[in-house]
Amino acid sequence: MLNTKGASIGKKTLFFIIILSIGFYGGYKFFAPTSEVAMVKNALYRSGASGKALLNQTKEFTGQVFEVKDGDLIMDAVIKAQPGDLIRVYPGTYSETVYVDKSDITFQGIVEGGEWPTLDGKTTLNDAFLYSGNGIHIEGFKITKYKGNGIMGQAGNNFVIRNNWIVDTGVYGIFPQYGKNGLIEYNTLTGIEDAAIYVGMCDNIDVLHNEVFGNVAGIEFENSRHCIAENNNVYDNAGGILAFITPGLPIKTTYDIIIRNNFVNENNHVNFAPPGSTVAGVPSGTGILIMAADDVIVEDNIISGNNNVGILITDFPNGGIKASRDPEADPNPDNVTILNNLMMRNGADPIDEIKVLMKTLFMKVGPDILAIGKGSGSAILNREKYVTFGIGSYGNPTKTTSYGVKTFLLDKPAEHRDITKKQLGEFTYYGVCAGCHAFNTRLIGVPTNVIQAIHTNNPQGIVDYINAPKNLREDYPEMPPQSHLSEEAKMAVAEYILGLKK
């Protein structure tokens, strides 16, 4: 398989890439149809409830088509485009960041003769696509060698991110933040040092039919609600699928999550996350991790060969997080339901803490399912099918299937949401900084109020430190550089930090 350095490609992944390269996958064709009306409808079509929900939101295409060819700049088309327009990008290499602060723009990559339109950050640019507009559609691109993110959304609703090939894009591959009503499907992602698909502080998101491998975390739902991960192939990551709460964010909950019909196999990759990041603490070999999230259903997945544990359910303290970091966030996972999964060969080489637990129980085989810590209302169907630790309090489920929910997408588009500079600073602070810097409590880094005292009335000083951190305190670890942030985001978060009050 393709490793994080892109050394080799296995037969399975090569087949997937070939299928995408000729323009067909799962019944979807992304070559240009004969009419623009058909094209826009086709760009929103998928056989299933999610595609139909989005199809019902479309209007007849009356916009302009801008064609971008090798040697052109995609941003030149963005500057000219108006809501409702289509930007069609042909094969070639485009080394730029595409900023989209307009709404209802569709980006369609055209694959011809196996050649893709490729956004190449050359390890110097931060983001490939960075959008804050609503109704953004991005499909058919190869994205590689960015330092920060492949595709990042900041507060944009009603988005579609489909059929992209994202390799080695730094921190996140696909990262919608504070968005509502979005579809992420048929993407291939690898080589990401945090989360390949990171759904942060979002609502009503469907994550479907993606191939995610060779990352630290495969698919991650953080402080998000009403989300589904279905029919994804998640393998060779350090952690496969995660649903959890990070304390200190404006949204305090993660709930109503369905993890269904996924392949979650052999997620035993070494954890290569930057030290101090949240996912750096995810043990390699973890198939599914649920931490402090509520109302999570895990159904009809094949979960196998994960050396640490198939499903790990934990609270804040046992997940290495102090509950005092955010008294408004419930630290316990409640109402977790496990239904009809095929689990085998998990727990072959668990972490030392689990090995100690195994010895106390005279067990030679590690767990398919491990629940540790507090929580209430959880249930499991046919518990005798699995090797389990810590689920003695789990009852029999009152609901034995989640298939009554086919999609979490809305029947009508969510109301458009606009982002101000202050909100950009807020989202950046809570999405990037707050995991290590609480306001007046020591976490990994110095408290935010100490940063305020050091850089009083000097936002540029904070920006300079973000770009080139120096370890000035022996009792704190050195902060990794955050140069993947855009210059606008750095200044916005610096100003937000200086104005923040408890």
- Here the tokens at position 502 are 């408890």
Q: Given 125, 149, 170, which residue is the final one in a domain?
A: 170
- pLDDT above 70: residue 2: no
147 and 214 in a single domain? The answer is: no
pLDDT reported for residue 27: 32
Pseudo-torsion of CA 284, 287, 288, 292, nearest 10°? -30
> Has residue 1 been placed in a domain?
no
401 and 450 in a single domain? The answer is: no
Q: Give per-residue pLDDT as tens, 37-70.
A: 444 444 444 446 676 666 566 666 789 999 999 9
Q: Which residues contact 13 (CB under 8 A, 6 or more apart)?
A: 1, 2, 188, 211, 213
Mean pLDDT along residues 328-334: 93
Total Cβ atoms within 10 A of residue 464: 15
105 and 58 in a single domain? The answer is: yes
Q: What span, in angstroms and rounded, lies between the C-alpha atoms of 116 and 140? A: 8
Q: Give per-residue pLDDT as tens, 294-316.
A: 999 999 999 999 999 999 999 99
CATH number at residue 467: 1.10.760.10
> What is 355-401 written as a DSSP string?
HHHHHHTT-SS--SEEEES---S-EESSGGGS-EES-TT-B--S---
Size of the chain, expressed as the number of residues it contains: 502
The structural domain count of the chain equals 3
> Has residue 3 been placed in a domain?
no
Under the banding of pLDDT at 50, 70 and 90, the label for residue 443 is low
Residues 210-225 as b/e (b if ≥16 CB within 10 A, e otherwise) read bbbbbbbbbbbbbbbb
Q: What span, in angstroms and rounded, lies between the C-alpha atoms of 482 and 126? A: 10
pLDDT reported for residue 417: 75
333 and 219 in a single domain? The answer is: yes
Q: How many secondary structure helices (H) and strands (E) does the chain include? A: 9, 35
pTM for the full predicted model? 0.82
* Helix, coil or strand: residue 313: strand
134 and 239 in a single domain? The answer is: no
CB-neighbour burial class of residue 182 (10 A; exposed 0-12, middle 13-18, buried 19+): buried
Q: Given 170, 193, 227, which residue is the final one in a domain?
A: 170
385 and 278 in a single domain? The answer is: yes
Q: What span, in angstroms and rounded, lies between the C-alpha atoms of 336 and 347? A: 21
Cβ atoms 66, 57 nearer than 8 A: no
155 and 192 in a single domain? The answer is: no
What are the two backbone dihedrals, phi and then psi, of residue 461, each rounded to the nearest 5 degrees? -60, -40
414 and 427 in a single domain? The answer is: no
Q: Given 400, 418, 436, which residue is the final one in a domain?
A: 418
- pLDDT above 60: residue 19: no
Mean pLDDT over all residues of the chain? 85
pLDDT reported for residue 427: 74
Under the banding of pLDDT at 50, 70 and 90, the label for residue 85 is very high
Q: What span, in angstroms and rounded, lies between the C-alpha atoms of 132 and 156? A: 5
Cβ atoms 257, 278 nearer than 8 A: no
Q: What span, in angstroms and rounded, lies between the C-alpha atoms of 313 and 317? A: 12
Domain enclosing residue 109, as ranges = 22-170
pLDDT reported for residue 54: 64
145 and 28 in a single domain? The answer is: yes
